[in-house]
Structure 1
Amino acid sequence: MKYVSLEPSEWAELLKDMESFIISLKYWLVKRKYYHLSLLIIFSLFMNFHPSSNDLILAENGVAYYAIYYGENESIIIRHAAEELAHYLEEITSADFEITNDPNIDKKLIIIGRNNTLTEAIEDKMEFSSIIADGFKIMAHDGNIYISGKIDRGTLYGVYYFLDVYLGVKWLSPDFEVVPKKNTLKVDAMNDLQNPRFLYREIFSMDTDDAYFRQHNRLNGCRGETHREYIEYPPEINTWSRYAPQGEHNFQDVVSAEYYYGGQILTMEEAVREEAAQYFINKIASHGTEPWYSFSQEDCGWIPDDVSKAFAKEHCGKLSAPVVDLVINVTERVRKVYPDAHLSTLAYQWSFEPPCDMAVPPYVMIELAPIDANFGYSYNDTHNSMIYSAFNGWSEMASSLAIWDYITNFQNYLQPWPNIYAMCQNIKYLSSIEPMKVYFGEGAYNTEGAEFAELRAWIASRLLWDPNQNYKELIDEFCDYYYGQASPYIKEYIELLHHAFLQSNEKLRVKQPITSNYLSLDFIKRADELMAKADGVAEGIYKKHVHEVRIGVDMTILLREHLYKAEAEERGETWHHDEKRKERFREYVKEANISYYCEDLPISYLLEAIDVDRIKASKPDIVSSQDEWIDFQDLDMQYCCGAHIVEDMEASDHGALEYDGKEWAIVLPLDLLPEGNWSLYAYVRADIKENAMPDDIAFNMGIYPGLEREIKVRKIKQGYNVFEFPSILNNSTIAWFSCGNGSRSIYVDRIVAIKNDVRIVKPKNGIYVMDRYILPFNFPIIIGKITVEAEISGNAKKVEFYVDNELKYEDESPPYQWQWNEHAIGWHEIKVAASNGEDSVQVFKIY
């Protein structure tokens, strides 16, 4: 039977109303001789409106009915949990909750921790055998409330869970919490055992790095501590999981330089394995046995040695095979000295796909890092078929898995990046993979102010504990608390952003350019309206929270307003230029304490970039009217390592990327190209050193995997020069630039892609008589001679003419043509071929 719970004052008022009602009902029933029925009905009414015996009233009218108790021998962590509980209970009720070590105090108790006589007396009911590391149980028993985990961190999380789920305290960011105010504080009697789905849970983001925030939200990881030297870990909350792999990208730190090869190491070399094993034996001797030490590839490509390549070939050609074999072998050697030793290794980039015919023992963890995913869709979506297949493969061969997830746009932390829904769906999917126990979500780790960083961390913390929650309800809950009056506009904006992405049919990359199609004119106009409305209604701290979102919209417009304006004019629409936008953006960036806008580029570079007064670029001079071509401007490229946008009036749109280093710092991902055979041409200007020699290198450019070109100083002319990239191979992934020893810096304006193509332009459908077009028809009919004409685009230098696959003629200069003047009757195939493609047409010839 379900009881209705009411406040005492409400009961008094209700009983008065019920008294008159019951007297009237009794009189009516007795008058009609239904006396026994009247007693039954009255009894039933009282039973159904009886105050619920399940209610536990913690405080009322500023008076605490409970005290907080923990055992005398409990740790500083348990004592702190009790103090926090007392603090927030007082904030909620204005009542003073006593903290005591006396179990016989004349009050009901909230009992914190395991090491006390009261908890020990009901240990069987607390079910500690069913609780895992961070788990806990909250239980009402004999009017008292018990909160305890198996370990101290579990008890700490039990207190935080009680405050959050039962009492409504929300820690939404390190500097913003919600504490409800209640005159009467009551909770239902509970019997709640909680275990997290993921043993290790970390969101690596500076916006949410505060240790208290992470612990309040039960994020137990601190793997990124090498980047968090600025964080203090007070002893009262300094309890973290070490279950995640420690270290990454360390092949060449572990073994000697003589064993380096092809960007990595000689994985199958016996000496490498022995040296690596000794390294980890020494590490364990000095640092102890971590749950997992990482032994992983360098963060670059690999040109493998022949032995490693041969081993990969034996296992379905996957380069992960020699790496996995190496790590298993090294771990087994270490375990001969330290039987509890465990190692992990990354499945990342070239090693992401699993090998076949191999098994990974439990003492080796595979850490999956799907950096090439489409982050706008979940990993088990059809848009991520390769990722999904790899996850399945690894889960079948390994019993210990971790995920290194990517939850921000590493090209621009501030840019609208519609990954929130997919991030939530991914956690749900990953929870279905039984060996997956570790979640490490990498966000903007080196700056505050990243797009929706607080929202992502808060929602992820809940889903990592219980993936079955409704993530859209969690988004609504966060927005209602965090944005206040502006919440409806922010929620509409989030939905608008994700819908725009789905409509764009784009791939959402880990480094996404600001020129992405989902940031369309229609999207940005509506987004700008929503931000103005949100900013207009928000007050106090909520206004600052709205500004954090508006930064991304303003920045997008400031960087590509020239494109929006041109498109609006083409559509016959008015583009509204906001004179206050740039000043507002600078103000909000300062307010949000943003120091970097991507991994290694300070915010000052972005503030310079928005000052570039861009124009719409003109058609490249190397493109003909017949060419199919694509223009990739500096805003379309990925850049790092000090490369940054500058104003350059010689550039096609008055903006260019400047770079002065030796890294491959300016990159164009080749999957931006549609299918087909393409040639790439770069417009580059070099600032040559005064003492440079003609054969010094002005800059390097190349295709990876593939060839590179050294552009020497003597090839450089004043202004922008056009240089062709080496040919794109089937497995090529990027086009890149680096500065040479002969230049102070280089400036990259644009990369122009021209599709390599050859087309028959004559004959087309119709009737031809003696080389003259006479009448239209459904297919070509040729009477007498015909001049076959072809056009080419791209880098072809010669066209071959075939009839029925027999070579008839080669033409090495335009116009490309050949006269077919042979006697022939019936159907024939005319084909033209060049180095960059071919085209053919079926004709019917008479004479």
Structure 2
Amino acid sequence: MCRIMSSLLLMITTLLYSACTPQAEDLTLVQQGRSGYVIVLPEQATKAESRAAGIFQDYVQRISGAKLPVIPESQYKAQPAVFIGNTSHTAGPPSIKSEGYFAGVKDKQLFIRGGSGQGVVYGVYYTLQTYMGCRKDDAGPAQVPTAKDIRLKGPISDLREPAFQYRETYYPPSMDAEYLAWHGLHRFEDLWGLWGHSFFKLVPPDTYFKDHPEYYSLVNGKRQPLQLCLSNENVYALTVAWFKKAIAANPDAMYWSIAPQDGGGACTCDLCKKTDAEEGGPQGSLIRFVNRVAGQFPQQHFTTLAYGYTAKAPLKTKPAANVFIMLSTIDAFRQEPLAQTASAAGFRKNLQGWEATTGNLFIWDYTTQFTNYLNPFPDYTNLQPNLQYFAAHHVKGVFSQGSGETYGDMAEYNSYVQACLLWQPDADLKKINNDFLTGYYGPAANVMGQYLDALSDAVKSTHSVLDIYGNPIYNTKDYLSPVLIDQYSGLLDKAEVAAANNTVFLQRIYRTRLFLEYVVLQQSRFYGFDKYGYLQPDGTVNPRWPQRVQKFVAACKTAGVQELSEGGLSPDAYAQEWQAIFSRKWIKSLAQGASVTLVNPYTPEYTPKKERTLTDGLTGGNDFSYNWLFTYGKDMIATIDMGSSKTIRQVQMNFLQDARHYIFNPTQVVVETSVDGTHFTVAGTKDIPVPEEDYAVHINPYSFAVPGTAARYIRVTAKCPATLPDWRLVAGKKPSLCCDEITVE
């Protein structure tokens, strides 16, 4: 009995001791603001190792007030230590792949080691977040707890090696250098000596085209500064000379781009055509040219783009060992994973072709709506399966292009999740989501998760299309319907209540509201006089709308919105655009609401109001997505039935010119009138000359005087140009017409 009591007493004592003292695998780094630990560096520490030590020292001091001395390993005297870098005192695996890292505790010592590059720095930031409560979820200052004690809960033995050697998520947080290092990300400005579409940086047309048009592509029998002629020996010599000078000036650059301009216009001269016939397309000339240049610089890495007319792998020539292919996913819709969506069938085929051709494959992916950065773009549940798909096909690097330097839909969330998955595509996504939402939104985390789920679920249940070149007005009947917008807004209301008076969390929720408010404002242009529109029935502006726009613009500036679309309006310019809309004189048209019959079909994806676009009382702006009847490659022949005979004096309409999107004026406009809808009389004809080269957007009005004419029917015939002008000629493209309101007075 005594032995049993003694054993029980010993057990209780042991349990009490265990509850009051650190476990064997725990490490007490600082206690009551003091520490006996030192930071130990290798004798010949690299820049990355020294930087890592400084970061660790700084954050420990910021948390606890204790400053750990940094010493070389030769001065180490067996005291408690944090070993940073490849010291002779070590723990973990014998080697670490790529920019991976190891963080572990052994015998009460902390070890943080890295592979190549910045691996050891990544390891320090990983330790700070995972075991010491620090966070950095955006470009602002890191969140650092304050405590007199720092205890790392064990056991700790973490090896992390990245799935991709190049990892970039292109959102505003990545403009911050510490954010990049914290999350183990790259930035193309830091890795590439020359990036992206580079032909005209190598051989600029402004310098050479006038005297040497033969350096540029032969298209439709004419030399044009659209692309380079890759069979021209002088083009090759100029390119090699450019790289010799650039590489000497920037020897640390990891990659150099040799890639076509954005657009078509591949050269069709005899030599280029012969090569392309052998290789199955213009990608043949490109790869042979890039290989040839890369051969002159065997120590450098060159990249080129599999994009547009170069998307397919060549039939014969394989990329050289120092050539990397960057394949684009640009043609795919985003409501489903790339591995299964029908719109990505071409991409999947091209991926398989390149995978069989080279082991150096990068992906240029897209996770935003370029035409509307603030538009909710819930591809959130596809981020993981897409990166898993890339990894399964031996992709080495991913450039995930979001909204760039400007603020866009769920920028912080997208960046965080992508950063995690670029390291480990098979990671627990639920855990990643919970980690971010809890850290970023605090007590509102659960509701913000519901907000993200509601958007993703709505896309699925309404069979919505997520187009990177889409528009919120295209989704008024599915995931961005007014009813669903109200539901999303209600969730954000609950999130604000949960955040209570925490101004940091509230500001983050307010920024999320920007996305919904943008949808409401943009869709109000589409609804016009209808419910949810910015106009009242009498044509005057809803008096709440100007103030609503001002409030939105101010919030945009606070959130860091620089432009609302790729190369688009700044918040101030957006306000000015709205002011022009508010100031627009509304004309009561005799044809408003009249039925319209078309001979040739409109393009449905760009004309959500269908035929009604021409008589809905709303005029179009610079964006062809709003209130323009879009007709592709055919004449627009529209007959308006005003319901009864009316005395008219003028017919007016606008046509849009937007060469960038292949939208041009008609070559001729004819207006006819009729009383019975069978017999028409020509009321006016205007011939319109072919435009000179001009990529600016223009709205061109055309008026036809028909004084005192009685008519029930108005027929407008706009002749579509037979071909694109020479300066905008691209294979496979046709000219389009965009007509807005046909006003009858």
The 3 A distance-change label for structure 1 pair 272 and 731 is closer
Matched, 1:433 2:393: yes
Work out the CA distance in 2 between the residues paired with 1:654 and 1:728: 30
Task: Report the TM-score, using the length of structure 2 for normalisation.
Answer: 0.74
2:18 is the counterpart of 1:53: no
- After the TM superposition, which residues 221-370 of structure 1 pair with which residues of structure 2 at under 5 Å, given as runs? 221-223=186-188, 225=189, 242=191, 246-255=194-203, 256-257=208-209, 258=213, 259-261=215-217, 262=219, 263-288=226-251, 290-307=253-270, 308-316=272-280, 318-332=281-295, 334=296, 338-370=297-329
1:358-393 Cα offsets, whole Å, 9 max, x none, are: 422322111112211213332212332221121111
Amino acid at match of 1:272: V
Match of 1:623 among 569, 584, 596: 596
Q: Which residue identity does 1:530 align to in structure 2?
A: L
Sort the Cα spacing of 1:353 and 1:75 in 2 relative to 1 into closer, same or farther, 3 A. Answer: closer
Which position in structure 2 is the counterpart of 1:810?
A: none
- Residue correspondences, number: 638
Superposition TM-score, scaled by structure 1 size: 0.66
Q: Distance in 1 between matches of 2:609 and 2:440?
A: 34
Q: Which moved more, 1:274-283 or 1:451-460?
A: 274-283
Deviations 1:343-365 (A, max 9, x none): 22101122212233442232211
Letter in 1 for 2:376: P
Trace 1:740-751 onto structure 2 (pairs within 5 A).
749=740
Distance (Å, rounded) in 2 between the aligned partners of 1:681 and 1:168: 67
1:201 aligns to what SS in structure 2?
Answer: strand
From 351, 376, 381, the equivalent of 1:391 is 351
Could you say which structure has the larger radius of gyration? 1
Offset of residue 297 of structure 1: 0.3
1:139 aligns with 2:87: no
CA contact (8 A) 1:70 1:79 kept: yes
Determine whether 1:547 maps to 2:510. yes
Structure 1 Cα separation of the partners of residues 173 and 123 of structure 2 = 25
TM-aligned CA distance change 1:252 to 1:189, over 3 Å: same
Displacement, 1:545? 0.7
* SS at structure 1 position matched to 2:346: helix
Is 1:588 the counterpart of 2:555 in the alignment? yes
The alpha-carbon deviation at position 477 of structure 1 amounts to: 1.9
Residue in 2 that maps onto 1:13: none
Per the alignment, residue 404 of structure 1 pairs with: 364
Q: What amino acid maps onto 1:89 in structure 2?
A: V
**Structure 1 residues 381, 423: closer, same or farther in 2, change over 3 A?**
same
Which residue identity does 2:27 align to in structure 1?
L
Check whether the contact 2:99–2:118 (CA below 8 A) recurs between aligned residues. Answer: yes
1:467 matched to 2:438? The reply is no
Structure 2 partner of 1:740: none
What is the SS of the residue equivalent to 1:280? helix
Query: Partner letter of residue 216 of structure 1?
Result: W
8 Å CA contact 2:451–2:488 kept in 1: the answer is yes
Unaligned runs of 5+ in 2: 220-225, 534-541, 640-654, 670-685, 689-700, 706-715, 725-729
Structure 1 residues 144 and 699: alpha-carbon distance in aligned structure 2, compared to 1, 3 A threshold: closer
What amino acid maps onto 1:534 in structure 2? A
Q: Which amino acid aligns with 1:253?
A: K
The alignment status of 1:414 with 2:374, answered yes or no, reads yes
Tell me, in whole angstroms, the C-alpha distance in 2 between the residues paired with 1:249 and 1:349.
Answer: 12
Q: In the alignment, which residue of structure 2 is the partner of 1:597?
A: 564
CA distance in 1: counterparts of 2:598 and 2:199, whole angstroms:
51
Structure 1 position 475, deviation (Å): 2.3
Residue in 2 aligned with 1:83?
Answer: 54
The structure-2 alpha-carbon separation of the partners of 1:701 and 1:320, relative to structure 1 and needing over 3 Å to count, comes to same
Aligned counterparts of 2:216 and 2:595: Cα–Cα separation in 1: 43
Q: C-alpha displacement at 1:626, in angstroms?
A: 9.5
Shift of 1:252: 3.1
Residue number among 24, 28, 35 corresponding to 1:64 in the alignment: 35
Contact kept in structure 2, 1:558 and 1:610, CA below 8 Å? no
Matched residue SS, 1:68: strand
Once the two structures are superposed, the pairs formed by residues 821-832 of structure 1 within 5 Å of their partners are: none
1:516 to 2:474 alignment: yes
Equivalent residues of 2:557, 2:571 under 8 A apart: no
Q: 1:158 aligns with which of 123, 132, 138?
A: 123
Aligned to 1:495: 453
Please give the residue correspondences for 1:15-34 in structure 2 after superposition, counting only pairs within 5 Å: 26=1
Q: Show the counterpart of 1:607.
A: 575
Residue 267 of structure 1, CA deviation: 2.6
Q: Match of 1:430, SS?
A: helix
User: In structure 2, do the counterparts of structure 1 residues 53 and 245 end up closer, same or farther at CA, with 3 Å as the change threshold?
Assistant: same
SS at match of 1:344: strand
Q: Distance in 2 between matches of 1:264 and 1:559?
A: 37
**How far 1:544 sits from its partner (Å)?**
1.1
SS in structure 1 of the partner of residue 409 of structure 2: coil
Asked if the contact 2:656–2:663 (Cα under 8 Å) also holds between the matched residues in 1, the reply is: no
- 8 A contact 2:606–2:625 mirrored in 1: no
1:424 alignment counterpart: 384
Q: Which residue of 2 aligns with 1:559?
A: 522
DSSP-derived class of the 2:472 partner: coil
Q: 1:487 to 1:636 in 2, by over 3 A?
A: farther
Over the aligned positions, Cα root-mean-square deviation in angstroms equals 4.4
* Partner Cα distance (2:661, 2:561) in 1: 34
Q: Mark the CA change 1:597 to 1:89 in structure 2 (over 3 Å): closer, same or farther.
A: same
- 1:725 is aligned, of 702, 717, 720, to 720
Which residue matches 1:533? Answer: 494
Mapped partners of 1:62, 1:682: distance in 2: 80
Tell which has more relative contact order, 1 or 2 (C-alpha 8 A, sep 6+).
2
- Specify the alignment match of 1:783 in structure 2: none
Cα–Cα, structure 1 residues 567 and 732, in superposed 2: closer, same or farther, change >3 Å? farther
Is residue 138–residue 148 contact of structure 1 (8 Å, CA) maintained in 2? yes
CA shift, 1:133, in A, is 3.9
Aligned sequence identity (%): 22
The offset of 1:41, in angstroms, is 8.0
Residue 215 (structure 1) aligned with residue 215 (structure 2): no
Structure 1: give runs of 5+ residues left out of the alignment.
1-25, 226-239, 571-575, 638-648, 659-664, 684-697, 738-746, 752-847
Deviation at 1:554, TM superposition (A): 0.8
**Match of residue 172 from structure 2:** 206
Residue type of the partner of 2:408? A
Are residue 120 (structure 1) and residue 103 (structure 2) matched? no
Tell me which amino acid in the other structure corresponds to 1:717. Answer: Y
**What residue identity is the alignment partner of 2:486?**
K
Q: Specify whether residues 653 and 365 from structure 1 end up closer, same or farther in structure 2 by C-alpha distance, changes over 3 A only.
A: farther
Residues in 2 aligned to 1:314 and 1:705: alpha-carbon distance in whole angstroms: 31
Q: Distance in 2 between matches of 1:679 and 1:42?
A: 96
Any conservation in 2 of the 1:78–1:152 contact (CA below 8 Å)?
no
Output the amino acid matched with 1:554. Answer: E
Is contact 2:193–2:250 with CA below 8 Å preserved after alignment?
Answer: no
Q: Give the secondary-structure state (helix, strand or coil) at the position aligned to 2:137.
A: strand
Measured in 2, the distance between the counterparts of 1:620 and 1:311 equals 57
Aligned mates of 1:470, 1:433 — CA distance in 2: 21
Q: Is the 8 A contact 2:162 2:422 kept in 1?
A: yes
